[in-house]
Structure 1
Amino acid sequence: MPISRRYFIKSSSALVASSLFQVGYLNAATALPNADDLAQDNEIKQRSEHTLVFASPYHTSDASFVPHLHIEFKRNIQALSQGKIYVDIQGQGAMGIGTDLMAAVSRGRVDAALISVANLSRALPLLDILNIPFWAGDNQALLNLISSPYWQQNVIENIAKQGKLAILYHYITGGRTLSTTKRTNTVIKVPTDLKNKVLRIPASKVLKHFYSMTDAHIVEVNWANVAAMARVGKFHVLDPGIVGLYAGPNNLRDEIATITQLNSVPDTWVNVVSQKWLNTLPRTLRLAVNDAAEKTFLSQLSNISHIESSCEQEFIKRGCTVFKPDQPTIALWQDQFGHHRHEWRDIKESLLGSSNEFSKLLDATKVPSKHNLG
C-alpha cells in the first residue's frame, strides 16, 4: 500500500487536536492503567468501527528493555484513524509465541502480530534471506537495507502480492549472538569452540543451513520452550540477540551465562498484518494504518541503542560474561560462513531467483538511509 503524505499530515493533526486519544496509560509505556484510563479506553473501543487484534510475545510494561512499540502502535493507529480503529493489544504471549504465533496470524486468529523473521520464515520464506550471515547483522546496515527502494519493491511488495500477509514495519533489535547457558558457561570465541556443542536453532531453514556449516550439533526448539530446555541442559548454545535473550519467555535471562556479540545475522522482528483484515477497511483507513506503521517504525530509531545497552548492563549485573570479538576474530567467522561462500548460492537462487538479486540487496546495505539511528 503506498503511503499518502497528504493523509499523514491531515491525520497527524488529529493526534494533537483530539484529547480522546491521549489516554493516560497510552502516554507512558511503563505505566499501569488505572480505572479511569481503562474506562476511557473502553469508550474508545465502543465508538470505533473496526478492531485490530495485535498479538505480541512481550508484556507492555517491558518497554524499557524491549522495543516492542505496543503503546506507540496503538496510539498511532487510533489517532490517525480518528478513532475508527481500536487496537486490542494481546501481549505476554496470550495468543502464542514463536511458531505458534506465526500460525495464529496465518490462520486469522489474530489480525496483526509482532514476530521474529526467523519464526515467520516458514510462512514468508522470502524474509529468510536476512538470515544469511555477515551482510545485514549491523543495525545501520539493516536500516539502510529496509529503507531502500529495492527492498521495498522486491521483498515487501512481493510479499504483499501473495495476498495473505503484509509487513507493516520492521523492528531493529540488534544482531544475533552466540550465547551459552549457565549449565555450559563457556565463552564462544572462535568457530572451533562450537565443536561438540548442542546449538538451539529457531524455525529458519537459512539459520539451520548456517549452523550446519559449523561443528555444532543443532536442535530446533520452539521459542516458548527455550528457557525450560536450557534449565535441563538440552542444549549448550543459543543465538538470539541481547534484547531477545533478556526479553525471552519464562525468564530466559536467568539461564544465560555468556554472550558473544557476533552480530552475524539481524535478530529482527516485523509487525505483520493479515491482508484479509486490511481488506475489510475502506481505502482511507488502509492509508491510516500504513501511515501509523511508518510513524511507529520511526519512533524506535532513537531508542534502540539505549535499549541494547540497558539489556547488556543488566546481564553484566547478573554476572554474565559479555564478549565482543575484535575485527580479526569477526573476519575468521566471516571467512568460514559469510554470504560470499559458494554454500549460499542455492539458497540465494531459491529465495530470490538469482545470486545477482542478492548482490543488489547487499549493495543496498551500503547506501545510507534517509533515517538515522540515535
Structure 2
Amino acid sequence: MTRHSLLLASAALLCAAPAFAADPELLVYDWAGFEEEGLFATYKEKYGTGPTYSFYGDDDEAFQKAASGFRADVAHPCSQMVGKYRDAGLIEPWDVSRIPEFANIDPKFLHSPVFADEGGVWYIPADWGVTAIAYNTEEVPVEDVASLQVFLDPKYEGRVSIPDSADDVWALAYLATGVTDWTDVTDAQFAAAAEWLRKAHVNVRSYWADPAEMSQLMASGEVLVAWSWNDGVAYLQADGFPVGFERETTEGSSTWFCGFVNFKNGPGSEDKVYDFVNSWLRPEAGPALVDAIGYGHANTTAMDLVDDETLETAGLTEIKAPILAQTPNSAAQREKQLAEFEKIKAGF
C-alpha cells in the first residue's frame, strides 16, 4: 500500500472520528484532511504540539452542530456560510492588527459585505479551489467530458458520483443549465436546474461525503466520472491512478473559497487562536497546502512560492471556460436548494 493509499484510508477514519487530540487549549473545527503539519508548523514550534481538531464533512452539518451548542475556538467554513454564523451570533470579529499577513490576502476574496461591516472583520479567507469533472482517463474518452451533460449520459448509469453537498450540486446543475451567477437565480432557472439534477440522480452510484470517499470510489473502478474538488484528484494523482480533471467543459466549472471564523467565548486560548491563524497565513503555508491537498492559498505571497507546473497539475491555473463562483448568496436561496436536494436524493 502506498503512502497516499494510507492517506486515503486515514482520511476516511478521521471523518468518522470526533476529534484528533493534541493541544487541549485550542480546538479547531475543520474539514477532515486539513490537519497537515505544514499549515500549523510555527504553532507547533511554539507550543510543541498541534491543535486539537474536531472534523466535519459538510458545511451545513458543521453549522447545525455549532448552532446546537458544540463549542470550539475557530472554524473553517466556506464563504457562503459566514453570514449564517454571524447572524446566529456564534462568532466575533477578528482583530486584524494581530494578523500581519491579512494585508497580503488577495482582495478578490474580501469583497463581500458579509465578511466585514461596521462591526469589524468577521472572516479570514484562507484557501480556495475548484469543483470540476474528475474522470478515469483509461475508461472515459476525453470527448465525453467536454460537456457537463456527461452526468446524464446513459452510458455512465451507476458509474457517476457527485458530492453530498447542496452548494456543489447546485453549482453543477446551474452551470449545466446555463447559469453562471447563483446570486440572482429566477424561479424558472431554479426549476430547470432541479429537473437536471433529477435526471443526473438516475446515474449516481453514490453521493460522496468527503474527497477520500470519492477517490476510493474511483480507485476501485466503481465510479468513472465524478464532480470533484482538487484534493480528491490530488490523492489519485499521487497514487499514479489515471485521472483527468476537466475544468473547461462547454458549460464551465465552479470555484469556491473557505476561511476562518472566531467563535465567541471559545473554550481555549484566544492567543493560540491567533497563533494558529498566523501559521496558516504565512507564505510558507502556500506550498504546503498545494502539495498536501491541492488547494490554492488566499495569501498572494504564499502563491508566489508555488511553481507553475505544480499549479497546472493541481488545477489552479486560469481557464477560458465559464466559471460559477460560489460566493455568498441569499440565505433563503440556500435553504430552498437544501430542501430540494434532499427531495432529489430521496427520489422525489
With structure 2 as the length reference, what TM-score do the two structures score? 0.48
| Larger Rg, first or second structure (1 or 2) | 1
User: When you count helix as a share of all residues, which structure comes out higher?
Assistant: 1
The structure in which a higher percent of residues are strand is 2
Larger RCO, structure (CA 8 Å, separation 6 or more): 2
